Structure 1
Amino acid sequence: MLQSHCHGVNPLNLPITGSAIGGLLLLLSPFTPSFSGSAARAAAPAQKPLPSAVTPPVSSFLESWPAVTPPSIETPEHSPLGPLELTPQPPAVLAQTNLPDTDGASPSLDPLPEEAPLPVLPTPEELLGPDITPPSLPDTNLPGDDATIVIQRFEVVGSTVFSEADFETITTDYVDRPITFTEVRAVRDAISQLYLDNGYITSGAIIPPQAIQDSVVQIQVVEGGVEEIVIEGTQRLLPGYVSSRINLGTGAPLQVDRLLERLQLLRLDPLIDNISADLQAGTRPGTNLLVVSVTEATSFSARYTLDNNRNPSVGSIRNQIQLTERNLTGLGDGLTLGYNITSGSQDVDFAYTLPINPYNGTLSFSLGYTGSEVLESPFEILEVTSNATVAELTLRQPVIQTPTQELALGLIASRQGTQTFLGIADIGGFPLSAGANDEGRIAVTALRFFQEWSQRSPKQVIALRSQFNLGLDALGSTVNSGDIPDSQFFSWLGQGQWVQLLGPDTPLLLRGSIQLTPDPLLTLERYGLGGQATVRGYSQDEVLTDNGANLSLEVRLPIWRDRNSDGLLQVTPFIEGGVGWNTQEADPDPNSLLSIGTGLLLQVENLDVRADFGIPLISTDGDNDTLQEQGIYFSLGYSFF
């Protein structure tokens, strides 16, 4: 699944520097407004959620204007976290613009999805039935117990699993002494039991017809396999989707633990509601027919969300609608369409994911567009608008995958572009972000290599993510001379999450992230602090810098349950903090945030409601015009299907 795709636009943050402001003032007097920190944050188009940083004061002839905060990108609650920021550099910028928020438009800017503890896995009896019995194999009739024989050696043939030494531990007590043919059969049965004890439930040993020579008895091992996989019960999902994944666990000789692992992985697949299998005798000895019964899950979903997680500059109240089809053509391919709107922005998202192998490797393409307009005073007089696009091609391949653990590697090729405009006096395209060209354009082409590891149990989740970002001079990307930020950069983003279930419906959540870079970064790549996904109690992207780190600790305590409707109400106290710093330019003041607070989380059937109130422990300059700027965040989501 794509994790970074268009979702919403962050407000424009307006860093101010002397040269750009000076030229603009000549055009705009007598319309010169007095800028404040919060207003500055309102002037940048948004891309992914990122916190904003405060830029240094402007040149001496503008000393009366307070420093303005650069833009930030939003970080959706269920996307990889990535910070971005703007740095005023010559030519100075009046306002910063962020790309459309795409639910992960930039893989580097989204928080890790919140993982739930592992559900209780089905037992072997539930998946394969209670009557798993060894196969009936043809055997040779041996004389009764009246006859005895002295055997010097048992020769076991046909085994690809066990060594000669493994069989010697069984046969040692039966050689070099007279034994009955019942004891010969006991050796055969012990070898069959060795296979059964190690999970090879369709394998066994026989004594083939033979003339005993040199006191050597041959025992033949028949290692069973699956002759055919028959899939029953699928509706829209192609049977090959299921059989190709089960086939990975049916290699000869068939081992029940490998088969159960593949069935359990399919049971966890969101496309499948239930699955069970029945091993039946095949057409030849040692072969089996595997009949798999599948109940498909609902693949289509529609969800509406109302929240105030956008930057106040373009309107913090956001309406979102998302349509998802997880099985578009029967291949297990997913399509997601999203539309988000605030009073000053509109976002459109598109994402398509195609499974490319039975190991759950995927190829994803996402495209997002955001148009935004700065509405916050005093910048609305400048008629600042922006548009932004993001396109990504993502290859993700799990290299280790079990029902409890996954290690995946992936590569993202991304292209982001943004342009800002001044409508006043019909100025048109204008460089309002550090690194933008004379027409206000910024373009970033990058390759992003990520590694993801997660481990889940019924009471604990640990998830780690690492991503290396390499900006390229390609496809018309922004390239500047000197220390001006551009598309040529290197950065690393690390993220982690730990969830521990303390009791029924009582999880403890610890999450954090860090970004490091040796380069000054464009706003689209900077690290943001502030907002619901990083440090609550501060407005979205309050601090936006090249480097940064944050940590959050939250516990969810149940105060009401309704088992009939699956209703649950939790109180969620938290403490969060973070720090940001720049590679070359001065750090914003303050460059660290710290807050405590609490919230309420309500889940009832298809409805979830959340409200958080954060108390900032480190004060920052800014207005308190919106709920978000007063430390209050809320979200209401309803799933129609």
Structure 2
Amino acid sequence: MTLYFGCDNSFILKNNYLFFIVFFLSLVSSIDNNCYAQAGINSEFEHQKANIFLSQANQESLTAPSSTPLNKVDPQASIKIDTITVSGSTIFPQEDFKTIIQPLEGKISSLSELRLVADQITQLYLQDGYITSRAVINSDSLAEGNIQIEIIEGEIEEIKIIGADKLIKYVRSRVNLGAASPLNTRKLEEQLRLLRTDPLIENIEANLSAGSGIGRSTLIVRVKAAKPLALDFGIDNYSPPSVGSERLGLELAYRNLSGLGDTFSTSYFPRIEAFSDTFDLNFQYQVPINPKNGTITAEIELNRNEIVNGIGEDFDINGETELYRLNYRQPIIRSTKQEVALSLGFDYQDSQTFLQEDGFSFIAGPEKGASKTSVLRFGQDYILRQPKGAWAFASSLNLGIDLFDATTNSSESVPDGKFFSWLGQIQRVQVLNKDNFLIIQSEFQLTPDSLLPSQQFIIGGGQSVKGYRQNTRSGDNGFLFSIEDRFTVSRSTAGQPIFTLAPFFNMGAIWNADDNPNERPNQNFLAALGLGFIWQPISDLNIRLDYAPPLIDLDDRGDNVQDDGFHFSVRYSKKI
């Protein structure tokens, strides 16, 4: 007899989609935010509107440096020019100036023509975004014939941050990344745009004005902090029917808890049929450790499950899981167009299943139902944003090690805590027009080893292969593919989607390592074709109903509405 519990596998499903949640949040500036709420993905940026960064008017308020003594020289007076020397440039090599200065060297010219040369050099800086840098003529060199053109490279002498007192250090450290000398306004605007997408910030404006001297500027940044508390209430049937298919959900997040940009979040998902005996409880704390958004995340997750339907109900079968996770993630490349990041994490998980209050193993591997794993995870992810969509790639190399009393077995074929696996994810969002876009995603796991249930790949359910019950199949290896086409049928007067149709196709399969002694059901390929209905009567409420008749009629199919292909989710989100 093989029993599939929610306790060992439920948290994996969450982690498999964590990367794509981040991916979705990064796309909201180009795609309707509310389209993603059916999976509990609440846009952090829906409140952010077009802000003024370094406007053309603000740029033009910076007066070009000038040399007062030149005003006393007749612009048309003849000037003998032997050589022209350009000094002070840290951006361009001397070779870049030769084509500009050589036509005047060794000739009789005028101040007007020299000024044109200086203007052309200045234009090189302007074209590359150095709008506060200038080339000026040293008046003392005019009489000697060896003309000196000095580059005054612009810099910010002061950054003033107004508003959001608890975020001043946080904002300043990130603005400084784009405010290095010489000042490049393109880099500065890029940092401001990144801050604009930060969930801690509701609105940001910046003005650049002339400072105390030539080439010096003052940057004034006005910041409005986002509401710190986010609440999410919901109900769905994204839980295995064996432990209660309908669950309630309460999620809470408080941002900038200590002024470091940190976030504390918690979630609680009890099952309606077994309110006190079956639940998922999660606590997470994340803190940024550098201005490039490197973060450390600590997480605790507790799962309790009791069989309430089927044969397990008569035998008092239940299970429990405790997960402790520590993870460090560091973006290597980060811009509004793309992001490359690496992560390193460690998970410790302790699980056990019980039969009438005694530890009992239903599969080979755990001893008396108890299993422990200590896993090192090395992650890589990449996001590419484009005008008509985006790509997301994620990869995780997972190594189970013999640490903290991890489960070990003498036989290499029996699942234990020592293993290696690779989890990969690919997603494409393609905008077809303002009312239509595609979501295509694929996920897979490969391993040569026999895995404990907590590390296996899972398919089936409203957040995986729709048309089948939650966690229908699990195995050492597996893949998942889905494509969904979203049509916005109606919008509010503000332009927000009210009703959306979402036809979709999804499929998946699992298989075990060749030497895994645990038997799998005969039918391990799932596929369904269905239609989703997304209704958003108000901005904070998202209702989704999916119907997907299964294309593969399973021999062990049950009589829950999930088995008939019905999945639903109701979510209400509020920021306070």
3-state SS of 1:630 partner: coil
Pairing 1:251–2:185 present: no
Match of 1:132 among 59, 71, 83: 59
The equivalent of 2:41 in structure 1 is none
3-state SS of 1:293 partner: strand
The equivalent of 2:270 in structure 1 is 341
Pairing 1:417–2:346 present: no
TM-score norm. by structure 1 comes to: 0.81
Give the partner amino acid of 2:263: G
The equivalent of 2:567 in structure 1 is 633
Q: Could you tell me how far 1:621 is from its partner in structure 2?
A: 2.0
The equivalent of 1:4 in structure 2 is none
CA distance in 2, matches of 1:267, 1:130: 21
CA distance in 2, matches of 1:200, 1:414: 47
Pairing 1:46–2:7 present: yes
Q: Note closer, same or farther for the CA distance 1:564–1:499 as it changes in structure 2 (3 Å cut).
A: same
Matches within 5 A, 1:500-515: 500-515=430-445
CA distance in 2, matches of 1:465, 1:115: 15
3-state SS of 2:328 partner: strand
Q: Note closer, same or farther for the CA distance 1:114–1:274 as it changes in structure 2 (3 Å cut).
A: closer
Q: Note closer, same or farther for the CA distance 1:623–1:149 as it changes in structure 2 (3 Å cut).
A: closer
Residues 69-107 of structure 1, C-alpha deviations (whole Å, 9 max, x = no match):
xxxx6624xx525xxxxxxxxxxxxxxxxxxxxxx6xx9
The equivalent of 1:405 in structure 2 is 338
Residues 255-313 of structure 1, C-alpha deviations (whole Å, 9 max, x = no match):
11101100111111111122111112223332211111112221211111100010111
CA distance in 1, matches of 2:289, 2:524: 44
CA distance in 1, matches of 2:56, 2:564: 58
Structure with the higher fraction of residues in strand conformation: 2
The equivalent of 2:555 in structure 1 is 621
2:161, 2:168 within 8 Å by CA — same for their partners in 1?
yes
Q: Could you tell me how far 1:622 is from its partner in structure 2?
A: 2.5
Q: Note closer, same or farther for the CA distance 1:533–1:398 as it changes in structure 2 (3 Å cut).
A: same
Residues 442-464 of structure 1, C-alpha deviations (whole Å, 9 max, x = no match):
10100011111111234302111
The equivalent of 2:305 in structure 1 is 372
Pairing 1:75–2:36 present: no
Q: Note closer, same or farther for the CA distance 1:480–1:516 as it changes in structure 2 (3 Å cut).
A: same
CA distance in 2, matches of 1:491, 1:555: 32
Q: Note closer, same or farther for the CA distance 1:419–1:145 as it changes in structure 2 (3 Å cut).
A: closer
* Structure 1, gaps ≥5 residues long: 1-13, 16-39, 50-72, 82-103
2:319, 2:353 within 8 Å by CA — same for their partners in 1?
yes
The equivalent of 2:36 in structure 1 is none
Match of 1:612 among 536, 542, 546: 546
The equivalent of 1:199 in structure 2 is 129
Matches within 5 A, 1:307-326: 307-326=236-255
Q: Could you tell me how far 1:567 is from its partner in structure 2?
A: 4.4
Q: Note closer, same or farther for the CA distance 1:554–1:247 as it changes in structure 2 (3 Å cut).
A: same
Match of 2:358 among 428, 435, 440: 428
Structure 1 vs Structure 2: percent identity of aligned residues? Answer: 36
2:469, 2:563 within 8 Å by CA — same for their partners in 1?
yes
CA distance in 2, matches of 1:450, 1:631: 34
The equivalent of 1:574 in structure 2 is 504
CA distance in 1, matches of 2:421, 2:289: 29
**Greater alpha carbon shift after TM alignment, 450-459 vs 123-132:** 123-132
Give the partner amino acid of 2:59: I
CA distance in 2, matches of 1:213, 1:293: 49
2:393, 2:426 within 8 Å by CA — same for their partners in 1?
yes
Q: Could you tell me how far 1:566 is from its partner in structure 2?
A: 3.0
Residues 494-544 of structure 1, C-alpha deviations (whole Å, 9 max, x = no match):
111111111223111111111100101110111111112221111112221
CA distance in 2, matches of 1:320, 1:168: 68
CA distance in 2, matches of 1:153, 1:122: 53
Give the partner amino acid of 1:620: L
1:45, 1:373 within 8 Å by CA — same for their partners in 2?
no
The equivalent of 2:429 in structure 1 is 499
3-state SS of 2:259 partner: coil
Give the partner amino acid of 2:285: Y
2:88, 2:151 within 8 Å by CA — same for their partners in 1?
yes
CA distance in 1, matches of 2:433, 2:496: 17
Q: Note closer, same or farther for the CA distance 1:575–1:616 as it changes in structure 2 (3 Å cut).
A: same
CA distance in 2, matches of 1:259, 1:462: 25
CA distance in 2, matches of 1:176, 1:113: 60
1:117, 1:459 within 8 Å by CA — same for their partners in 2?
no
How many equivalent pairs are there?
546
Pairing 1:302–2:238 present: no
CA distance in 2, matches of 1:148, 1:123: 52
By relative contact order (CA 8 Å, sep 6+), the higher-ranking structure is: 1
1:231, 1:291 within 8 Å by CA — same for their partners in 2?
yes
Q: Note closer, same or farther for the CA distance 1:468–1:391 as it changes in structure 2 (3 Å cut).
A: same
CA distance in 1, matches of 2:374, 2:473: 24
CA distance in 2, matches of 1:386, 1:131: 63
Pairing 1:549–2:483 present: no
CA distance in 1, matches of 2:56, 2:50: 9
**Greater alpha carbon shift after TM alignment, 260-269 vs 533-542:** 533-542
1:74, 1:540 within 8 Å by CA — same for their partners in 2?
no
2:59, 2:209 within 8 Å by CA — same for their partners in 1?
no
Pairing 1:451–2:380 present: yes
1:112, 1:497 within 8 Å by CA — same for their partners in 2?
no
The equivalent of 1:141 in structure 2 is 69
3-state SS of 1:568 partner: strand
CA distance in 1, matches of 2:261, 2:202: 14
The equivalent of 1:274 in structure 2 is 203
Match of 1:363 among 296, 302, 305: 296
* Structure 2, gaps ≥5 residues long: 31-47
Match of 1:160 among 81, 87, 90: 90
Residues 413-467 of structure 1, C-alpha deviations (whole Å, 9 max, x = no match):
10111112222xxx522223431113x2110100011111111234302111011
Give the partner amino acid of 1:177: K
What is the RMSD computed on CA atoms of the aligned residues?
2.2
CA distance in 2, matches of 1:413, 1:624: 37
Match of 2:531 among 567, 592, 598: 598
Pairing 1:183–2:108 present: no
3-state SS of 1:270 partner: coil
CA distance in 2, matches of 1:574, 1:463: 20
CA distance in 2, matches of 1:599, 1:214: 81
3-state SS of 2:174 partner: helix
CA distance in 2, matches of 1:254, 1:402: 18
1:569, 1:601 within 8 Å by CA — same for their partners in 2?
yes
Pairing 1:241–2:151 present: no
3-state SS of 1:448 partner: strand
Q: Note closer, same or farther for the CA distance 1:284–1:48 as it changes in structure 2 (3 Å cut).
A: farther
The equivalent of 1:117 in structure 2 is 27
Q: Could you tell me how far 1:189 is from its partner in structure 2?
A: 2.3
CA distance in 2, matches of 1:463, 1:347: 28
Match of 1:588 among 521, 526, 533: 521
3-state SS of 1:132 partner: helix
CA distance in 2, matches of 1:550, 1:579: 7
CA distance in 2, matches of 1:195, 1:165: 15
Q: Could you tell me how far 1:206 is from its partner in structure 2?
A: 1.8
The equivalent of 2:42 in structure 1 is none
